[in-house]
Amino acid sequence: MSVIDVGFDFSGRHVVVTGGARGTGLEIAEAFRACGARVSVTGTKILPSLYDADLDRFSYHQLQLASSEGIDSFVERIGQVDVLVNAAGARLPGAFDEHEREFLMHSARLGLVGPQRLTQQLRARLCSTAHAGGGAVVHTGQSLDWLTLTLPPAEAEAEFRSLTAQTGRAWSRLGARVNAVLAASRPNLPAQSSWAHRENGGAVITRLRPSATAADLASITLFLASSGARALSGQTFTADQHV
């Protein structure tokens, strides 16, 4: 696994990466660690040794985002958080019957479970960070997946962008920023070979070259969490990704 050194310094910051035990989440966690951060990662498995990656260099926490109680318990024990990266996909318990699953999916849509609830539960800590640039939340495409549980992809993405813009504007007045980075490999996001900017629901959309990778997404996440991006909040960056 490669991490691009883009010169950021997150020394003294506590970064939480949900879904950081594998995939893009792990790449992002590695990038923050390489830049000096203390990194906590979450996964759904009981022990970190059950994952293929060596997670000993992180603080590992089991977290079931489909459980409001599980989220509350995690928030109670995690302590101060300076940066939150939501990279955990939507995984619903297989033991649930049809009605329970439907209730849970609508609960995720309303923000009663999932990354929205976790973000709100950590708001006070993120807004109280003493580090330059304030606290930062970066949503990834995995956060969008929670909305696709109940909405068609295009509608889910429109709502995701709108929520990011609204939350970003509100939190920027409180001392924290909320932004997002998505991979343009989704069917309704065609790849483009050059940089382009346009306005869409208050969010700036940036398309990267088609060769963007998970490491590129990690670099964008580092930038959005850095003090250099202190003026950015409520924005969604879109990168074409080939992993």
| pLDDT tens per residue across span 102-118 | 887 888 888 889 999 99
SS3 content of the chain, % helix, strand, coil (to 5): 40, 20, 45
pLDDT of residue 96: 61
Using 50, 70 and 90 to split pLDDT, how confident is the model at 82? very high
Predicted local confidence at residue 243, as pLDDT: 39
Q: Which of 58-62, 90-94, 215-219 has the highest mean pLDDT?
A: 58-62
Q: What is the pLDDT of residue 102?
A: 83
The pair phi, psi for residue 181, each rounded to 5°, is -135, 125
pLDDT over threshold 90, residue 229:
yes
Tally of CB atoms within 10 A around 166: 14
- For the cut 90, the answer to whether the pLDDT of residue 154 exceeds it is yes
CA distance 210 to 88: 24
Mean pLDDT for the stretch of residues 40-65: 96
* Structural domains of the chain, with CATH: 14-180 (3.40.50.720)
- The sheet that has 38-43: what strands, in order across it? 59-62, 38-43, 14-18, 83-86, 135-139, 176-183, 236-239
User: What confidence score (pLDDT) does residue 242 get?
Assistant: 45
Chain mean pLDDT for the chain: 85
Q: What is the mean pLDDT of residues 232-242?
A: 81
Say if residue 205's pLDDT is above 50.
no
Instruction: Name the pairing type of β-strands 197-200 and 83-86.
Output: unpaired
Q: Is the pLDDT of residue 209 over 50?
A: no
**pLDDT given for residue 216 in this prediction:** 85
Query: Over pLDDT 90: what percentage of the chain?
Result: 69
Q: Is the pLDDT of residue 206 over 60?
A: no
User: Which pTM does this prediction carry?
Assistant: 0.85
Say if residue 191's pLDDT is above 50.
Answer: no
Q: Is the pLDDT of residue 33 over 80?
A: yes
